[in-house]
Structure 1
């Protein structure tokens, strides 16, 4: 999941919005850690569940990574209170649990849906059985 995130991160640019969907433990934060590596941002990317949003500055003069966890947000008003539109044009913004909320932030976005396989965890030498769907939604 991290390697996929890193590859995707290398292709993102300032102003891009990424909306992550998946159940608890699906790999949303791990994917975002890979994005951070691909974007070459500072600091370890961890889940911002309790702080809601975290900014990881670029180490290379590229876009910062704004990482939001919308799980505890009560609605669009609380998302607006984060004032994400102030940094949206200059950063890559990732919103975990953002489906149904984050779409209002930008006309275009990358939607990433991560699904875990049901059943036993894979052995160390097996591939991670997750299904990931990436879809660019381009506004009018």
Structure 2
């Protein structure tokens, strides 16, 4: 499914929409260049899930766990410096009991799971800039496995 996300606020709203779908054991990968909106989407997800504390990029710590008062914690991973599924697995994340979002996760899921939601975010270079100086992003959402076979919950969003 292809979405057009016009503003950072819409990217956060996509995260909030995703929050209504995720549960413990779910894995979401976010791919895109620096500044594409991966952490903005994760902030929207975290806010809608009601995590404690601010969701910030885990670049320097690799993985940050955001507890919730009620429900599975959100684990936010920056896999930019990881080179294999083994290194991701070495982070000792409790995948079955957590909602895990992996930035830069493409190609790192072998042996981790058979089901995940993948969002590829493209930030145009030299694209159309709004009056506010914002370039729209294109987000391709791909479901892997039966858990994410139905993406109907995205119908009408970012059209």
* TM-score, with length taken from structure 2: 0.78
**Alignment partner of 1:33 is 2:40:** no
Q: State the TM-score, normalized to the length of structure 1.
A: 0.88
Q: What do the CA deviations read for 1:8-63 (whole angstroms, capped 9, x no partner)?
A: 1121111100011101110001111111012111111000000000000012x111
SS at match of 1:32: helix
Structure 2: segments with no counterpart, 5+ residues = 1-10, 147-159
Asked if structure 2 preserves the Cα contact closer than 8 Å seen for 1:108 and 1:138, the reply is yes
Question: Structure 1, residues 71-121: CA drift from partner, whole Å, max 9, x if none?
Answer: 01133332121012xx11111000000100134321100001111122264
4+ residue segments displaced more than 3 Å: none
Mapped to 2, the partners of 1:77 and 1:20 lie a distance apart of 19
RMSD: 1.9
Match of 2:52 among 20, 32, 42: 42
Consecutive unaligned residues of structure 1, counting only runs of 5 or more, are none
Is 2:131 the partner of 1:123?
A: yes
Task: Output aligned runs, 1:55-70, within 5 Å.
Answer: 55-59=65-69, 61-70=70-79
